[in-house]
Amino acid sequence: MEFIEKNDSNELLKVIDVNHNIEGAFYNAVEFIEREQLLDEALWKKFVDQFREQPDAQTLAWRGEYWGKMMRGAASVYSYTRNPKLYAVLESTVKDMLTVAEADGRVSTYEREKEFQGWDLWCRKYVLLGMLYFYDICHSEKLKNEILVYLIKHTDYIIDRIGEGKLDITSCSSSWFGINSSSLLEPVVWLYRQTRELRFLNFADYIVKCGGADRVNVFELAYENKLLPYQYGISKAYELTSCFEGLIAYYQVTGIEKYKTAAVNYGYAILASDVSIIGSLGCTHELLDHTSVRQTAQRGEREQETCVTVTWMKYCASLYRLTGDPKFADAIEISFYNAYLGALNTEHSESGWMRYKFRNNPILNILKDTFMPFDSYSPLTPGVRGIGVGGNQVLSDGSYYGCCACIGSVGLGIYASHRLLRYDGGIILSFFENGSSEVNINGGRVVVDVQGDYPKHGNIKITVSTEKPQAFEFKVRVPAWSVNAVINSEMKQYLEDGFAVFYGEWYGKTEICISFDMQLCIHYPQSWDEDVIYTDMTGSGKGWHFANAQTVYHKPEYDDYIALTRGPIVLAADSRLGKSADSVFNFEKKNGSLVFTEEEFNECILCLRFCGEGSEHFRLIDYASAGKDWKSTIAAWLPTK
């Protein structure tokens, strides 16, 4: 096959080198995750040691994902903070990680005799990704060369054993029909970008031809666009989306439009079928399940996994750059302010779940309480946070860790790097936390400063400052939920496809005042009659990928809920506010609108006091602030019967 080199020129929007100083909830989250996780040298050492101890083959586990997953997030955070202490920690652990490679380049937490099964390739993928993300921020050319040699040998070891006439990549896992192994596609393409070695591109071509899963070509299904993703037969949200992340990278270096179409179709299909009110996917544990219509149907299940939230945010970021469609920026923002910030364990809460899980296991005698900086699951209907550690594995010292805790920090990098993007005509401001962003445009320094009380309120003032006269377009995303945005500026302007576009010559300080329409919106469950979902957790997928389909039927009680949003914020009940989240919520209306007043409450982003029937009053707060003690009952969907 002939490949046309694209060098990412096919992205309509581009991430640029920006000096950000962002405040508000974003700043608080960055400060928290740096302090509580990313600067913890002992934690990095534990994760590297998994490659020395090689414990994962015993139970076909995934401890080998932890280091690379957390490095990807840490490098993304460093790209924003430029914190020299963080860089020193990351450089040190990278050097440590370089020492675990065996003589032939092999890097694995599986013993050599038991490799290429379970989650082995998935973990090797994260070794590649972690190193590639650090490579992009690395200050030392010498270290970059060492990393590149390491990555080449690591990947060559895999290519020598997997491919046409060798071991089939979709048979390298007994879980999820091999789709976890096929997600290796993304870093293989990235390595090709760095080296231009054709064998890596050929291997990526092989992975795409395999279709992602055993006997199910998910890329073809997305291209044909006749089924929704939850109907593919492989419904594991995180791993499936990771494969499509790789497909976008593959398109960008090959220019094969079919794969762009497939990747974009997948994103729009997810928007249509599987995004919940809080901006995550899957309410049947970690599976795509037609979440948009079934999100009031689950009771007490693990749902809305943080790994899925962050991966969805990352996928939306890729599609935003690729298509320029602000729907994907809207999706990132809703995920960020609700599911993502809600998962941060800022109160150092402990659920006791691990001790409950191992209550009859001798391991309980050595199990150490371990702080998780992120919760793994978020309830939609009345429930509590902290019900489990997603992807948990016990380490040799008796501590434990999980996948969601490792992946979380990359969400901050996504948000920061996509606040201000470049396109051929100028720059786009996508997110509105207070703070300034400095960028170079056509050789001149431009500072974009945002001030207001967003997302609590919708009034923002944007000041664009230039040191010399410059002509460029400046776009501001107008969120889809803002029906009537009021814009005041002396600059020429027009509205187009979800953006306010300002154009002309900029010089000195130019102010743009925007008032987004933040009316309170009421959401009702979507109606449905019956659905087929796929619930296999461990099957090999050898020719029976539809065998574990379940037909689920609508029940009248699924309709007995409402959800409330204001701007990008989902309001939630929290039993700490005086009214149990599983109580009946009846709202007083005046002229067809709910009666409420705004209040200050602790450190939450938003608190509204509502009038109920009779003399009842109750408060709802932003979903991200609810249930942080991991004990109180919270709900995004409020019972009405």
Q: What is the pLDDT of residues 473-518, one digit of tens each?
A: 999 999 999 999 999 999 999 999 999 999 999 999 999 999 999 9
Q: Distance between CA atoms of 13 and 423, rounded to whole angstroms?
A: 5
pLDDT greater than 60 at residue 275 = yes
SS3 517: coil
Predicted pLDDT of residue 581: 95
Mean pLDDT of 332-340: 98
Predicted pLDDT of residue 535: 64
Predicted pLDDT of residue 538: 44
Q: Distance between CA atoms of 267 and 304, rounded to whole angstroms?
A: 18
- Of residues 441, 433, 515, 517, the one with CA closest to residue 474: 441
pLDDT greater than 90 at residue 521 = yes
Predicted pLDDT of residue 536: 56
Helical axes 84-98 vs 41-53, angle rounded to 10°: 10
Tokens found for residue 582: 């599983």
Supply the mean pLDDT for the chain: 93
**Domain at 420-515: CATH architecture:** Sandwich (2.60)
Q: Distance between CA atoms of 207 and 220, rounded to whole angstroms?
A: 13
Residue the block writes with tokens 């309120």: 457
Exposure of 465 in the CB half-sphere (CA atoms within 13 A)? 9
- Of residues 219, 201, 230, the one with CA closest to residue 260: 219
How does pLDDT run across 49-67, given as a tens digit for each residue? 999 999 999 999 999 999 9
Mean pLDDT of 196-224: 96
Q: How far apart are the first and last CA of the chain?
A: 61
Predicted pLDDT of residue 443: 85
Share of the chain above pLDDT 70, in %: 96
Contacts 24+ apart (CB under 8 A), 451-456: 454/24, 454/516, 454/567, 455/337, 455/567, 455/568, 455/569, 455/605, 455/606, 456/605, 456/606
Predicted pLDDT of residue 355: 85
Predicted pLDDT of residue 540: 39
- Of residues 64, 63, 65, the one with CA closest to residue 73: 65
SS3 478: coil
SS3 601: coil
Pairing type for strands 473-477 and 426-429 reads parallel
Per-residue pLDDT band at 41 (split at 50, 70, 90): very high
- Of residues 432, 473, 454, 372, the one with CA closest to residue 13: 473
Asked if 634 and 575 count as a contact pair (C-beta separation under 8 A), the reply is yes
**Is 37 or 613 the better-scoring residue by pLDDT?**
37
List CB contacts of 417: < 8 A, sequence separation 6 or more.
15, 18, 76, 79, 80, 317
Asked if 179 and 212 count as a contact pair (C-beta separation under 8 A), the reply is yes
Per-residue pLDDT band at 12 (split at 50, 70, 90): very high
Q: Residue 5's CB: how many other CB atoms inside 10 A?
A: 12
Mean pLDDT of 150-160: 98
Provide the residue ranges of all domains of the chain, joining segments of one domain with +: 420-515
pLDDT greater than 70 at residue 291 = yes
DSSP 345-411: -TT-----HHHHHTTTSGGGGTPPP---SB-S---SSSB-S-S--TT-EE-TTS-EE-HHHHHTTHH
- Of residues 564, 552, 526, 576, the one with CA closest to residue 298: 552
**Is 211 or 603 the better-scoring residue by pLDDT?**
211
pLDDT greater than 70 at residue 546 = no
Question: What phi and psi values does residue 176 have, to the nearest 5 degrees?
Answer: 60, 35
How does pLDDT run across 80-129, given as a tens digit for each residue? 999 999 999 999 999 999 999 999 999 999 999 999 999 999 999 999 99
Per-residue pLDDT band at 300 (split at 50, 70, 90): low
Strand partners, 15: 421
Asked if 171 and 214 count as a contact pair (C-beta separation under 8 A), the reply is yes
Tokens found for residue 172: 């390298």
Question: What phi and psi values does residue 190 have, to the nearest 5 degrees?
Answer: -60, -40
Q: Distance between CA atoms of 577 and 596, rounded to whole angstroms?
A: 15
Question: What phi and psi values does residue 468 have, to the nearest 5 degrees?
Answer: -145, 160
Predicted pLDDT of residue 547: 43
SS3 40: coil
Predicted pLDDT of residue 6: 40
Q: Residue 72's CB: how many other CB atoms inside 10 A?
A: 23
- Of residues 317, 222, 233, the one with CA closest to residue 272: 222
Asked if 573 and 564 count as a contact pair (C-beta separation under 8 A), the reply is no
Tokens found for residue 252: 């960008």
**DSSP at 552:** E
Predicted pLDDT of residue 9: 52
The C-alpha angle with vertex 49 and arms to 169 and 87, in degrees rounded to 5, equals: 95
Asked if 422 and 16 count as a contact pair (C-beta separation under 8 A), the reply is yes
How does pLDDT run across 378-426, given as a tens digit for each residue? 999 999 999 999 999 999 999 999 999 999 999 999 999 999 999 998 9
Mean pLDDT of 184-202: 97
How does pLDDT run across 552-605, given as a tens digit for each residue? 889 988 999 999 999 999 999 999 999 999 999 999 988 888 999 999 888 899
- Of residues 538, 518, 520, the one with CA closest to residue 611: 520
List CB contacts of 577: < 8 A, sequence separation 6 or more.
601, 618, 619, 620, 621
Mean pLDDT of 614-639: 95
Predicted pLDDT of residue 539: 42
List Cα–Cα distances, 561 to 300, 432, 639, in angstroms: 16, 31, 5
The C-alpha angle with vertex 570 and arms to 383 and 516, in degrees rounded to 5, equals: 175
